[in-house]
């Protein structure tokens, strides 16, 4: 395979990764890591390095568009970033002594269970009575719909914050954005409308990825020949996804999300069993 062919395949794969990551709030690593490791036999560390670049590009590309459209809850994202940052530091400490492949398998099994629970839910959160803590922190918001601006409230701030801590720990342990847990924390625990939770996850995920990417750069695991085509493709896909999101029905979006986290789960379990973490 020539360098040009390899680069074109990477860009096309990354475009799909950016599109999927933008629509679901998972970041671009969902598709990037399996493609690089399973199709091209690239070392897992370099795949993670490229996936982190993909997550940063997804967040930078789609998050700016979502903020402009008024879908992202910036205040909620900044508040929950406190939890993911603390969790990431804890995860980095845990990684010094706990086998990460075991964590990866457990994470994958939890995602499979979660995807099954998500498929049972047919409608989005509506008429949620918000909690007093959410009101004091001013975490309520609005987002645009076909019928105009729609107000929403949220609840269980403590539960969502706790899940975000777990997402941060997994980010520190495995070098991933943990977008699946970020979305689930807002959607399942805090009852945030699904489009708001995915876009806010996109807004948050870049911060976690940047912190992890610094470590991978220092260790030499971000190869420009791999990361640069990935970045171009993911950025294009994420911007296209940002335009597509407004036209998608929530039910369709939820099915895409379930498919995506199943991919993440299979990838995590496989690489955990094979000892690639």
Q: How many structural domains is the chain composed of? A: 1
Over the Cα atoms of the chain, what is R_g? 18
Q: What is the pTM of this model?
A: 0.72
* Cα distance between residue 87 and residue 174, in whole Å: 12
Element of type H or E holding 20: helix 3-24
Domain that holds residue 125: 3-273
Take residue 213 and report the two structure tokens written for it. 């990417």
pLDDT per residue of the chain (277 residues) written in tens, 0 to 9: 788 888 898 898 888 877 877 777 666 666 777 778 777 888 877 887 888 787 777 777 777 777 887 888 889 988 998 888 888 778 767 766 777 677 778 777 867 866 776 665 556 677 788 888 988 888 888 888 777 788 888 888 998 899 888 888 877 676 566 666 787 778 878 888 888 888 888 788 777 777 667 777 877 888 888 888 988 888 888 888 878 877 777 677 767 777 877 877 887 788 788 876 6
Angle, vertex CA 209, rays to CA 207 and CA 214, nearest 5: 105
């Amino acid at each position: 395979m020539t360098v040009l062919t390899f680069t074109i395949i990477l860009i096309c794969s990354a475009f799909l990764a950016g599109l999927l990551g933008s629509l679901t709030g998972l970041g671009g690593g969902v598709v990037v890591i399996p493609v690089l490791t399973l199709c091209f036999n690239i070392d897992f560390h370099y795949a993670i390095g490229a996936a982190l670049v993909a997550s940063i590009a997804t967040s930078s590309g789609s998050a700016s568009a979502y903020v402009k459209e008024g879908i992202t809850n910036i205040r909620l994202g900044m508040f929950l970033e406190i939890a993911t940052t603390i969790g990431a530091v804890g995860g980095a400490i845990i990684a010094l002594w706990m086998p990460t492949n075991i964590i990866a398998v457990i994470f994958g099994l939890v995602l499979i269970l979660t995807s099954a629970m998500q498929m049972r839910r047919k409608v989005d959160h509506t008429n949620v009575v918000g909690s007093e803590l959410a009101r004091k922190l001013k975490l309520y918001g609005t987002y645009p719909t076909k019928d105009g601006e729609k107000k929403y409230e949220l609840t269980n701030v403590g539960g969502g914050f706790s899940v975000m801590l777990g997402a941060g720990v997994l980010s520190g342990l495995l070098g991933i954005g943990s977008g699946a847990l970020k979305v689930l924390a807002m959607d399942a625990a805090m009852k945030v409308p699904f489009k708001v939770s995915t876009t806010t996850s996109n807004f948050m995920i870049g911060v976690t990825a940047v912190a992890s990417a610094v470590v991978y750069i220092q260790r030499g695991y971000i190869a420009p020949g791999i990361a640069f085509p990935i970045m171009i493709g993911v950025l294009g896909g994420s911007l296209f996804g940002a335009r597509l999101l407004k036209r998608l029905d929530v039910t369709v979006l939820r099915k895409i999300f379930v498919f995506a986290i199943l991919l993440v789960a299979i990838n995590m379990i496989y690489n955990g069993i094979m000892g690639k973490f």
